[in-house]
Amino acid sequence: MIQVDRISKSFGEVQAVKEVSLVAEDGKITALLGANGAGKTTSMRMIYALIKPETGVVMVDGINSTENPVAARARMGVLPDARGLYKRLTARENMEYFGRLQGMSEADIKRRADELIQRLGMEKFADRQTDGFSQGQRVKVAIARAIIHDPQNILLDEPTNGLDVMSTRAIRAFLREEKARGKCVLFSSHVMQEVSAVCDEITVVDAGAICATGTEQELLALTQEQNLEDAFVNLVTQKSTVGGVS
Amino acid sequence: MMSQAFKVVFKKEVTENLRDKRTVMSSLVMSAVLGPLMMLGLIIMTTNMTKGKAEEQLELPVINVSGAQNLEQFLLSQGVKIVPLGDKTPEQAIKDKDHDVILEIDENYAADFNAGRVATVKLYFDGSAKGTANISVRKARSLVNAYSSSIGALRLQLRGISPNIMKAVSIQSHDQASLESKGGQMMTFLPYFLILILFSGSMYLAIDTTAGEKERKSLEPLFLNPAKRSDILAGKLAATITFGLLTLVLTMIVFKITLPFYPQKKLGLSLDLGMYKILIMLVVLMPLAVVASAIQTIIASFSKSFKEAQTYVGLLILLPMIPSLLLMFMSVKEKLWMMLVPILSQNLIINQIIRGEEPGMSAILVTIFGTLFFGVVLAWFAVRLYNKETMLFSD
């Protein structure tokens, strides 16, 4: 479970994130929905303890990630915006490298890598060097690498960005499985269909601040729109309903 | 001290880079193998050029040669080949490098000579000319001088005076340069060469593990693992140092193997570098691998892309040239404090070894620990660089 309480960050003059709060619960998929440049990536970077928030706190399973970033990171598996692979290592070696950095035993790494290769459908390319992989193959390896240690919390920054239908479906199905296993899944996206298709809770951000929070139904009711896209446009243009529902 | 992350990162960087043909080619093959071979080739070529010119017959254009038939006879008897100058003025001929040196007999030469006055000849040459041209000039000058003193001596004898009256002091030359120190003159660029190889051996990894990783966007995911950034960077730096050392050791081995092929007799020198001396060179250079790796890692860390890093690090390689070049042209008395200055100290000690001197144990120890201390300070700085958030992103 991830609890974010009023975190802010500014770069020079620009206030990128203003007092963002949200809760991502176990057994649910939570989305951070916002347009390009709304502050999603910066918020995510603070949540997964890469950069420090200027104000506010992030608690990961009760661990304060500012005070104890190493312990907090061990509880998270993160697919960041930057998802470069080591192209002279095979897909499996990429996963093993991160498994070792997570402090896993070789036996656990092997078992978990085999499981992820099978679940994400990576059998055909698991033992090839990743140089020349397709976008879809690369994202699968990056996800498998990020959650090799089977973390309780899975955070993904625009996971299906630039992927084809088949890869997108595979990743959505995988995230639903993880949710069913009681994991806390938090992802950022600007794609309405995606959020609509997989998410239980939605937090809408615009210009670095939260516009609304709730389930899709709640957001539709709040804005009196028929679909999420219209609701989103309504929320970020009018901003009359700041505060949210839940 | 040795954390799990350090070991994991170190192992991964070494394996990954050994798989990369470009790294292996550029650091190991190009520097370590081709480097010493190129140096050997260069030395053989220069010795052949110098030696050849010195033994070659001097070709000397003499203007107005009919005015000095005695001198002409003398020159011919000394094996000089007198050649025609052609249409050019002597100034132009020198400028165009048609000849290294030209002798002109003054028009009043015959009259002055016969009257017992000082007769004049002119020698044209280019004092700034490189290499072997100077040998011809020296030869021509000494021939004329020799002729002049032999005639002078004859004139004194004719007047019943011993020619020795003209010699108040005679110089007996005792050149104290040992055979090794003559070899040293040819080899003064060896330290620079070895230091350069040390830098280039670690250059690729220094860039690849920092700026390269940032550019490929794998740095952010890497830092999301539950490990201290300084531990991860320490592992990377250790891999970089390892490649620098590997290149250095390989180079020294190839250098040692090529040693017997140096034209030592022709150079009149003895490059007596036994295993012990090679090992001393190796141990004073080894701490420099830490300095080279750390400083290149720091510079690469500030760069946003591989190419940018390559530009800056390429400029850095000029740095070790400064002490090497200074020592090539200046005679420096080794002092112990100099051994505290990295690069300078390695230059001094390797130069001493090449000259056949034994560097003192204190100098060696001060060099090793002075350089190591400097390297550790730089490394400490390098592994902490990424604790700054602004260093993490290339955008």
Instruction: Indicate whether B392 pLDDT > 70.
Output: yes
Does some domain include residue A180? Answer: yes
Confidence of residue B269 (pLDDT cuts 50, 70, 90): low
Does some domain include residue A241? Answer: no
- Selected residue with higher pLDDT from A106 and B186: A106
CB spacing of B16 vs A70 below 8 angstroms: no
- Pull the structure tokens for residue B386: 């990424």
pLDDT at residue A176 in the model: 95
Confidence of residue B99 (pLDDT cuts 50, 70, 90): confident
Answer yes or no: do A2 and A49 share one domain: yes
- Domains held by chain A: number: 2
> How much is the ipTM here?
0.91
Digit-coded pLDDT (tens) for B323-332: 877 877 777 7
Cα separation, A56 vs B96, whole angstroms: 80
Instruction: Indicate whether A244 pLDDT > 50.
Output: no
- Selected residue with higher pLDDT from A46 and A237: A46
Per-residue pLDDT, averaged over B245-273, amounts to 81
Instruction: Indicate whether A242 pLDDT > 50.
Output: no
Per-residue pLDDT, averaged over B243-248, amounts to 92
Q: Are B63 and B105 in contact (CB under 8 A)?
A: yes
Does some domain include residue A30? Answer: yes
Instruction: Indicate whether B106 pLDDT > 90.
Output: no
Answer yes or no: do A25 and A146 share one domain: no
Instruction: Indicate whether B95 pLDDT > 80.
Output: yes
pLDDT at residue B326 in the model: 80
Closest CA to B284 of B189, B188, B349, B354: B349
Cα separation, B145 vs B155, whole angstroms: 15
Within an 8 Å CB–CB cutoff, is residue A197 touching chain B? no
CB spacing of B8 vs A76 below 8 angstroms: no
- Selected residue with higher pLDDT from B335 and B372: B372
Bridge partners for A188 per DSSP: A32, A157
Instruction: Indicate whether B1 pLDDT > 60.
Output: no
Among A200-209, B44-53, B72-81, B150-159, the least confident range: B44-53
Chain A residues lying within 8 Å of B223, measured CB to CB: 50
Cα separation, B185 vs A63, whole angstroms: 67
Does some domain include residue A219? Answer: no
Q: What is the DSSP letter of B27?
A: I
Mutation target vs A (from B213, B225, B387, B389; most A CBs, 10 A cutoff): B225
Within an 8 Å CB–CB cutoff, is residue B226 touching chain A? yes
- Show Cβ contacts of residue B259 under 8 Å, excluding neighbours closer than 6 positions: B271, B273
Chain B residues lying within 8 Å of A49, measured CB to CB: 224
Instruction: Indicate whether A245 pLDDT > 60.
Output: no
pLDDT at residue B186 in the model: 64
Answer yes or no: do A88 and A58 share one domain: no
Element (H, E) at A201: strand A201-206
CB spacing of B228 vs A70 below 8 angstroms: yes
Residue of B nearest to A147 (CA): B225
Answer yes or no: do A146 and A177 share one domain: no
- Selected residue with higher pLDDT from B332 and A75: A75
What CATH number is given to the structural domain containing A25? 3.40.50.300
Digit-coded pLDDT (tens) for A105-141: 999 999 999 999 999 999 999 999 999 999 999 999 9
Task: List, as one string, the DSSP characters of B112-181.
Answer: HHHHTS---EEEEE-TT--TTHHHHHHHHHHHHHHHHHHHHHHHHHHTT--GGGG-S----------HHH
CATH of domain B57-174: 3.40.1710.10
Does some domain include residue A244? Answer: no
Cα separation, A164 vs A69, whole angstroms: 35
Task: List, as one string, the DSSP characters of B341-352.
Answer: STTHHHHHHHHH
Query: What are the residue boundaries of the structural domains of chain B, listed by start?
Result: 4-47+180-391, 57-174
Mean confidence (pLDDT) of chain B: 85
Q: Which of A150, A166, A192 is the last residue of a domain?
A: A150
Task: List, as one string, the DSSP characters of B365-376.
Answer: HHHHHHHHHHHH
Does some domain include residue A242? Answer: no
Task: List, as one string, the DSSP characters of B14-25.
Answer: HHHHHT-HHHII
Digit-coded pLDDT (tens) for B227-242: 999 999 999 999 999 9
- Owning domain of residue A112: 82-150
Does some domain include residue A21? Answer: yes
Instruction: Indicate whether B313 pLDDT > 70.
Output: yes
